[in-house]
């Protein structure tokens, strides 16, 4: 009968049972079951907190051992999921919720690797080195090597000679490099981004991270004024994928406009304006179309695009500008009639 219940129903039923149980062993079993159920559902913070509550109320050695084993397993699972999802801050938080300092505990090798990766993604390579001390593991060694490189911050010159930032590349290192590239992008360090990302093999990245790599590479090439290279990365990124929110398509069209001019970019901006699900992106694309049509002398078409942009994003600064542009074109059209 329980199999027919939803997760929420099972959890509510279990919580009611916990409130009524008086026998210590039965209560412990209920808490362990609750933690497992939450873990299966991906609620890792809640399952660790459940096990912490159990450990605070029991003195049974057998229960403590079972809870500790489950807690350690769920910690590693939760951190791995968080890192795969691009949430290093949550992976680090799970480590804090665990309840005691295990950062140099030899019984926590995989959790320490996960924590070191999270810290490096968050820009704290010094702390990551501390976590990795005396940890003998290929993944740990690869992270240690990269941490030393990033701390020294003198790698750019040697990387230029090789055309890339060298070193062992594991899945953990690949994700740290992506995070470092994002940080360097925010500082307009275009060459550094390319050297960090150039050697990353696709096989170590999930689909979301593959997209991030192409997006960062395209932005770095654009920053260096290398439009053909930026377009190449965007074309790989977009492939045959649907329009969606339109953000990547808008960036691609912007590069085309910078490189080849208005006429080549116009069809892309029209498509984005008409199909993007994100209203602000659609509004911006309508403004671009309006600007191009105005330069081409199509004032009526431009006015319509500006009006559409103002309708899509009311209250924004560009909505006000679009409304003003539409009004000015209306006046110009009136004079010409």
pLDDT along the chain (337 residues), means of 10: 67 71 75 93 96 93 94 97 97 94 94 98 96 95 95 85 89 97 96 92 92 96 96 94 96 97 97 96 96 94 92 84 85 73
| Burial group, residue 54, by CB count within 10 angstroms (0-12, 13-18, 19+) | buried
Q: How far apart are CA 310 and CA 298, in angstroms?
A: 19
What pLDDT is stored for residue 19 in this prediction? 66
CA within 13 Å, CB half, 28 = 18
Token duo for residue 15: 């919580």
Rounded CA-CA distance 140/149 in Å is 14
For 86, the domain range is: 1-100
Out of 69, 100, 131, pick the residue that ends a domain: 100
Beta strands in 143-228 (DSSP E): none
Answer with the one of 100, 122, 156 that is the final residue of a domain: 100
CATH number of the domain residue 309 falls in: 1.25.40.10
Q: What angle do CA 305, 308, 313 make, to 5 degrees?
A: 125
pLDDT at res. 262: 97
Note the pLDDT of residue 17: 67
- Classify residue 134: in a domain, yes or no: no
Domain-ending residue, one of 48, 75, 100: 100
What's the distance, Cα to Cα, between the start and end of the chain in Å? 77
163 is written with which tokens? 């055309």
Residue 24 falls inside a structural domain: yes
The two most distant CA atoms of the chain are separated, in Å, by 92
pLDDT of residue 1: 40
State how far the Cα of 72 lies from the Cα of 75, in Å rounded to an integer. Answer: 5
The CATH number of whichever domain residue 35 belongs to comes to: 1.25.40
Position 272 in a domain: yes
CA distances from 112 to 35, 55, 62, 135 (A): 22, 22, 26, 9
| 322 in a structural domain | yes
179 is a domain residue: no
Closest by CA position to 253, among listed 279, 277, 282: 282
169 occurs within a structural domain = no
Give a yes or no: residue 300 inside a domain.
yes
Total tally of structural domains belonging to the chain: 2
Find, among 77, 6, 1, the residue nearest to 39 by Cα.
Answer: 77
* Residue 337, pLDDT score: 60
Contacts (Cβ under 8 Å, ≥6 apart) of 112: 102, 103, 104, 105, 131, 132, 135, 140
For 265, phi then psi, to 5°, come to: -85, -25
Map tokens 């939803």 to a residue: 6
Which contacts qualify for 103-107: CB closer than 8 Å, 24 or more apart? 103/130, 103/131, 104/130, 104/131, 104/133, 104/134, 106/134, 106/135, 107/72
Q: Which of 280, 288, 212, 293 has the alpha carbon at shortest distance from 246?
A: 280
224 and 190 in contact (C-beta within 8 Å)? yes
Residue 215 lies in a domain: no
Residue with tokens 């030393």: 148
């Amino acid at each position: 009968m329980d199999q027919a219940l939803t997760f929420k129903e099972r959890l509510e039923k279990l919580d009611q049972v916990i409130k009524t149980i008086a026998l210590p062993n039965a209560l412990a079993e209920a808490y362990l079951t609750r933690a497992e159920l939450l873990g299966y559902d991906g609620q890792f913070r809640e399952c660790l907190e459940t096990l912490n509550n159990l450990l605070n109320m029991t003195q049974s050695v057998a229960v403590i051992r079972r809870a500790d084993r489950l807690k350690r397993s769920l910690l590693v699972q939760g951190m791995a999921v968080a890192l795969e999802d691009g949430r290093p801050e949550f992976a680090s938080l799970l480590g804090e919720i665990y309840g005691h300092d295990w950062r140099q505990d030899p019984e926590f090798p995989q959790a320490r690797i996960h924590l070191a990766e999270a810290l490096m993604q968050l820009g704290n390579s010094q702390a990551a080195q501390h976590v990795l001390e005396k940890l003998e593991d290929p993944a740990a060694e690869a992270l240690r090597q990269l941490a030393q490189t990033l701390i020294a911050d003198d790698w750019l010159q040697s990387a230029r000679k090789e055309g890339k930032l060298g070193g062992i590349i594991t899945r953990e290192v690949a994700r740290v490099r992506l995070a470092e590239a994002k940080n360097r992008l925010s500082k307009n360090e275009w060459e550094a981004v390319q050297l960090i990302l150039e050697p990353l093999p696709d096989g170590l990245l999930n689909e979301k991270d593959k997209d991030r790599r192409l997006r960062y590479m395209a932005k770095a090439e654009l920053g260096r004024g290398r439009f053909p290279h930026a377009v190449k990365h965007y074309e790989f990124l977009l492939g045959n994928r649907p329009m969606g929110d339109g953000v990547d398509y808008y960036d691609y069209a912007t590069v085309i406009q910078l490189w080849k001019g208005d006429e080549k970019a116009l069809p892309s901006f029209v498509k984005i304006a008409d199909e993007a699900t994100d209203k602000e992106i659609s509004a911006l694309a309508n403004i671009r179309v309006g600007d191009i049509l105005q330069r081409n002398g199509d004032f009526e078409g431009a006015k319509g695009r500006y009006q559409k942009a103002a309708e899509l994003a009311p209250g924004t600064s560009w909505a006000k500008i679009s409304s003003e542009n539409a009004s000015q074109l209306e006046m110009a059209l009136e004079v010409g009639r």
